[in-house]
Amino acid sequence: MVEIRHNHEKGRTSKEKSLQEQSTDSHDCQCARVLGQGNMPRQKRSSLPGINDFCRLCARNLVILGVRRRSQNLFKLTANSKPGTVLIATRLEKLLGTAPEKRSDLSETICQFCIRKLANYEQTVDKIGEWRRNIGTRTCDRTPKTTPKRTPTRKSPAPGQGKTPENAARKRELKFTPGKSPAQKQARSAQQSEQESENVDPLQNKSAETTVEVQVQFPSDKHPRLKRLDGELKSTVQQLAEGRWAAAANSLLKHKDMTAALQVKVSESIKRECNAMAAGSILGKTTPEDLQKFRMGDFGMELEARAPWLNSCLHGACGEAETSQAGLIAKCTAASVCLRVKHQNLSAIQYRNSIALLHGGAKKVAFARFNKQQICMSHRMSLQKQREFGAFKDVAVLGWKNTLEVQKESVSLLKSLHEEVVEQERVQCKAGLDTSGNSTISSADLQALDFSFKSYDVVVPPPPSLETEDDSDFDLLGVKPLDEPASPANSSAIDISAMLANIKGYREETYKVAERAIHSVAATPDSRPQDIVRQAICFIIETPLGTFQIIFDNVDFYVTPHHQSTENRPESVHWVHQYAAKDRVVTNLPSDEPLKRLKDLNLEDILPTYEVQQLLRKDYIIYVVRVLVWYLEAFRDFKKNAVWHIPHEFSAEMEQQSEQCWLGLQFKNENYNKDMADIMRKIQADYVPANVDEDGAITDLIHPILLGGDLLSEERAANIQAAFKSLDTPEERLDGMIPKNEVWHAGKNLLEIYNGKYFKPTAGADKASLCANMNVIQATNAKKGPHIAYNHYMELFMKDLHASIIYAAKKIFHLPSIDAPPESIVPDMILSGDQHTKSDWIHSRAAEIVDLVFAEDLDVVQGMSLQKPTEFKCRAEGCNRVYVRPKPRVTHELKKHNLVVSETESSPSTHMKEDHIRNYHISKLGMALLINNIHDATREGDGERLSRCFKMALLFYRCHGHTKYAHGTLLHFARSQALLPPSLAHSLVWNRFVNDKGGKGNNVPLDLNLEFKNNLLKQFLKHLGPNLNESNAARVANSIGEMAKLLQSIDTELGVRRGSGYHHKPDDTADIQRLVVQYEQANVLDFQPGREYNSFPGMDRNPISKLNMDKMLDWMRNKLKYWEALHE
């Protein structure tokens, strides 16, 4: 038995001791210590911290291991305090009603925790005051009152004789007069008077008067052993006896011997916790899927639950940031490093760090350095984990494929079920026939039930009588028809499901989809089972298919070995990189039959007709408005009226983030036909939805997919399919893929036509020409052309386009400068009008600029002019023959009038009347608007607008000798408008883009996205150096997609901001203004007959003036006939 006793001075009476204990345990003891009305325990040992090293409110030690915690002085402001900061003492006086005293035996410091509590209490007091005012009650006196028994010898003054509010206010206004008594006596008398007014005895100095004794009595002892404690253990035992655990723990930590013992015990506890965590910890889950799902917050919760001692130690090490995200990350990282020293399997965080190092291209020695510090895994283990990630490269696309197969198979399954249900109903109907001989049926009923019967003589029925029932509707067989049979009892969904389960030969997912379709039918009590199944079939057919596409392109680079020899020579590598993208725009259109036959295709559906040009003009106007309101001060008020994102039918779908799947490399060279055939066989076998047998061989193709690439890749794939056209089955003919060319390469080729037509290196002296403009703004990289320096050329292209629009606006609207105010051009009624009025006005003014391109007098080929096509009159004098097309007119003129008129012939006088410099810039502006419209339609994912643009681009390709792209563009329209089924044709038009991050205007072409992936892959492959081979390249290419997902998860959790991929360009206003000055100095839009550039003589306003439309139409017809024979 252990008994602890602590007594105060012997001279005090029991009444005084009782009063002292009540004062010690009272709720206001802490406030008394703060205000200086009580004594803080003093430390007798000189080695302990000073009085100001403790918080005055909570007595917390502010010095831990020689480092002082954050604190603040009660009576002083810090040097960096903001103006208007109030002293802590003043705030306490306002809160408690009494000012704290400044004494040498009381601390002047308050800790940061109490400062925060003070702010909370202040808010609480203010809130209570607000409640009191709102509730409308009067305040009541809550001052504690004493009884005469507790009052000491000196009593409180009688009522009316003590302090009153009036007397207190009057005394505060008086000036202080020093007394004649000594200072000590004056202070003592003031203290006595204050204590007398409160009717409470002064507190005793507890630390100087308290004694602590411990009684220990063993079972064998007759008398207890008494030991009086002094020094450090005295206060510790006293605090334990009083239940002040925090203070006792603090005292124990100050005891040197006890601290050493505690350290050993804490260390043993942490060891036991770590050993227990080794089994089943979240750190031990290191599969690729688990690493992607790993979260620091989950591990932090595990630490708190399973390793509280370790968690507390790491929390303390994190300091004030222990509850922040940074503190959580630091705690979890430190715990994982410590745990892995003994338990090597707890390596989730280390594997994540290793993947980050691999992605960053760290060398092997970097892995060794960090692995020694338990921060990452070894280089060998990191590569092994990378291979594990690569095993899951195509999980997503295989899931898309399986979903599509199941949806198609479920239709076949339900059709089989429908046949079974119809047969079952027929059997039930036969079984329900009356066999008594009293009932009869008609021949039609027998035939409907598949009964056979013998013919016999017709029995003429007797005439009807009133006594017999009406037999007027007896048939010729002399039998009476049965009454309308009751419809068979409606089979429940369970019965249909049972029949569904009896049909064998389908995968498990197919049965689930079919059953869900059956349950989705809103059946009525009168619904027959076959009707339910039929509606379920319609439900699945009307559900859009989740289709996807495969995009592939070649990856070319040069490998130089570290040690060259005859066997180990430099090698030019040509591999194929591929990825899959899920279609965002899906449809339930039919997918079995083509849209129409090619011979029924009208060429007007392919050419840029009058209606198409009207829509293009509208697109150009919208973009010109954007430029006007962005660069010209006069139109800045119209920014709200500009259309920054042209809406279309599937705008919402194109704002969604795309689902993509990296598919790694195929180590084949598509330049060789054999390798190209192997590439297509591999794609068809792995990713085309099909039915397979037990050995995995394809039995039939379910749904073809689109296979995208550049024009050369499409041409090679089409050639392989044409070569295999004579084979027996669709699988052998590789009919599971439909090759197509993508947008970016086609648009890039059109930009090369633009550069070839309007740029010549010798045109530097032709002011305001494209070459001269490059020199003015020092765009020397753009001179390499779009094929070599695409980004630099596009930057120059956009600046030149904007400068052309701005100059045209200044010229047409007579603006003195780009900074001209709105009042200089905008009428007051427009400025004060509504948004609709402003929108109409600004678009009408932009149309004046666009109409420079679509001029009425522009001589263009039929189907290209903005005006409706006119009739072709015979040019022979006196002949009034009129033709619809130009070629019959030429034939007529030659045969009847022997008249030959050269289409390119122009007289010198006509040549001199033209302003070829003006023609140059109008022609350049028109083609630039077309190219820009292609890019804008791509960003918005507008497949319909993109098709309009390529109808015009088709003529440019054909006119300027880019016959392969003309061929590819024409084939695209033949597929989208005739050859393909409606569903695939719809996907071919609309699913030509991906959106990596979601949002408006963030779409990029499928082939450009693959170029980005190729660039990233090449960066990884370059890190391999001379170790580049097919094995290492496959490891990198297969894992790059899954690693990207893991890194995205890590960055999101750690708060790391990744680059958006958008290159923030500097302000281009200065360069555009320089180009505008060039246009102004050359007066490029002023009509001056006879002008021309030396490098561009005889420039025509029509950029496709050299196109022979008759030959163009003949070429189109011949191609369509060839494809008709090939594909139909």
Q: Which residues are annotated as a binding site for Zn(2+)?
A: 55, 58, 111, 114
Do 557 and 946 contact (CB within 8 A), yes or no? no
Task: Compute φ and ψ for 2, nearest 5 degrees.
Answer: -120, 125
* 537 contacts: CB under 8 Å, gap ≥ 6: 411, 414, 415, 418, 517
Do 1034 and 664 contact (CB within 8 A), yes or no? yes
Do 549 and 706 contact (CB within 8 A), yes or no? yes
Only one residue has tokens 């085309």, namely: 688
From residue 892, alpha-carbon distances to 46, 862, 901, 1110 in Å are 125, 19, 12, 15
Cα–Cα distance, 1006 to 580 (Å, whole number)? 10
Burial class of residue 829 in the structure, from the number of CB atoms within 10 Å of its CB (0-12 exposed, 13-18 middle, 19+ buried): exposed
Cα–Cα distance, 853 to 866 (Å, whole number)? 10
> What is the SS3 assignment for 436-464?
CCCCCCCHHHHHHCCCCCCCCCCCCCCCC
Cα–Cα distance, 429 to 437 (Å, whole number)? 17
Residues annotated in the binding site, as ranges?
55, 58, 111, 114
Burial class of residue 1063 in the structure, from the number of CB atoms within 10 Å of its CB (0-12 exposed, 13-18 middle, 19+ buried): exposed
Amino acid at 699: T
Nearest to 612 by CA among 928, 870, 865: 865
Task: Compute φ and ψ for 581, nearest 5 degrees.
Answer: -135, 130
Greatest Cα pair distance in the chain: 155
Cα–Cα distance, 967 to 228 (Å, whole number)? 107
Buried b / exposed e across 662-686, counting CB within 10 Å, b at 16+? bbbbbebbbeeeebbbbbbeebbee
Q: Which two tokens stand for residue 416?
A: 């089989």
* 974 contacts: CB under 8 Å, gap ≥ 6: 598, 601, 1119, 1120, 1123
Do 214 and 227 contact (CB within 8 A), yes or no? yes
Identify each DSSP E strand in 742-887 by its residue range.
Answer: 872-873, 882-883
Do 287 and 318 contact (CB within 8 A), yes or no? no
Q: Which two tokens stand for residue 599?
A: 């011979």
User: How many residues in the chain?
Assistant: 1128
Burial class of residue 480 in the structure, from the number of CB atoms within 10 Å of its CB (0-12 exposed, 13-18 middle, 19+ buried): middle
Cα–Cα distance, 966 to 963 (Å, whole number)? 5
